[in-house]
A and B are shown apart, each in its own frame.
Chain A
Amino acid sequence: MTTTYDVVVVGAGHAGVAVVSALAKAGFAGSVAVLGDEPVLPYERPPLSKEYLTDGGAAPLLRTEAFWSTDSVQLELGAQVTTVDPAAKLVHVADGRTFGYRKLVWATGADARALRVPGATADNLHSIRRLSDVDRLRRHLTARGRAVIIGGGYIGLETAAVLTGLGHQVTVVEAVDRVLARVTGPVVSRFYQQLHERHGVRIVLGETVAGIATRAGRAHGVHLGSGELLPADVVIVGVGAVPAVEVLQDAGAAGDGGLLVDDLCRTTLPDVHAIGDCALQVNRFSTSAAPVRLESVSNANHQAKVTAAHLVGAPPPVPAVPWFWSNQYDVKLQTAGLFAGHDEVVTRGEPDSGRFSVLYLARGRLLAADCVNVPADFAGARRVIGERERLDTELAADPGTPLKTAVLAHA
Chain B
Amino acid sequence: MGRITFIDSGQAERPADFSPGESVMTAAVNNNVAGIDGECGGELSCATCHVYLPESLAALVPPPSADELEMLEVVDERQAGSRLGCQVRLVDSMDGMVVVVAGEGS
Q: Contact at A47–B41, with CB atoms within 8 Å?
A: yes
Interface flag for B99 (CB, 8 Å): no
A-B contact list, 16 entries, CB within 8 Å? A25-B34, A44-B41, A50-B43, A63-B29, A63-B30, A64-B30, A66-B17, A297-B40, A301-B39, A305-B106, A325-B43, A325-B45, A325-B46, A375-B73, A376-B73, A379-B47
What is the interface of chain B, defined by CB distance below 8 A to chain A?
17, 26, 29-30, 32-34, 37, 39-41, 43-47, 70-71, 73-75, 106
A22 sits at the interface (CB 8 A): yes
Contacts of A380 in B (CB 8 A): 74
Which 9 pairs of residues, A with B, have the shortest CB-CB distance?
A379-B74, A325-B45, A24-B32, A25-B34, A376-B74, A44-B41, A375-B71, A64-B30, A67-B30
CA distance A375 to B40 in the complex (A): 14
Q: A301-B39, A332-B44 are in contact. List 13 more A-B contacts (CB 8 A).
A: A21-B29, A21-B32, A22-B106, A24-B32, A25-B34, A26-B106, A46-B40, A64-B30, A301-B37, A325-B40, A334-B45, A376-B74, A379-B74
CB distance from B97 to the nearest CB of A (A): 20
Which A residues touch B45, using CB under 8 A?
A: 325, 327, 332, 334
Q: Which residues of B contact A25 (CB under 8 A)?
A: 32-34, 106
Q: Cα distance A24–B8 when bound, in Å?
A: 13
CA distance A305 to B104 in the complex (A): 14
A298 lies within 8 A of chain B by Cβ: yes
- Is A60 in contact with chain B by the CB < 8 A criterion? yes
- Measured CB to CB, the residues of A under 8 A from B are 21-22, 24-26, 44, 46-47, 50, 60, 63-64, 66-67, 297-298, 301, 305, 309, 317, 323, 325, 327, 332, 334, 375-376, 378-380
| Distance A44 CA – B47 CA, assembled complex (angstroms) | 17
* Shortest distance between the CB of A357 and any CB in chain B (Å): 13
- Shortest Cβ gap from B3 to chain A (Å): 13
**Is the pair B70, A376 in contact by a Cβ cutoff of 8 Å?**
yes
B67 to chain A, nearest CB (A): 8
Asked if residues A379 and B75 are in contact (CB atoms below 8 Å), the reply is yes
Do A46 and B32 touch (CB < 8 A)?
A: no
In the assembled complex, the Cα of A44 lies from the Cα of B75 at a distance in Å of 24
CB pair A317 B74 closer than 8 Å? no
- Alpha-carbon gap, A66 to B29, bound state (A): 12
Q: When chains A and B are docked, how far (Å) is the Cα of A334 from the Cα of B67?
A: 14
State the Cβ distance, B64 to closest chain A Cβ, in Å.
13
Cα of A365 to Cα of B29 in the assembled complex, Å:
35
Is A375 a contact partner of B41 (Cβ separation < 8 A)? Answer: no
A46 CA / B70 CA spacing, docked (Å): 22
Q: Which residues of A contact B73 (CB under 8 A)?
A: 375-376
Q: Give chain B residues whose Cβ lies under 8 Å from the Cβ of A323.
A: 46
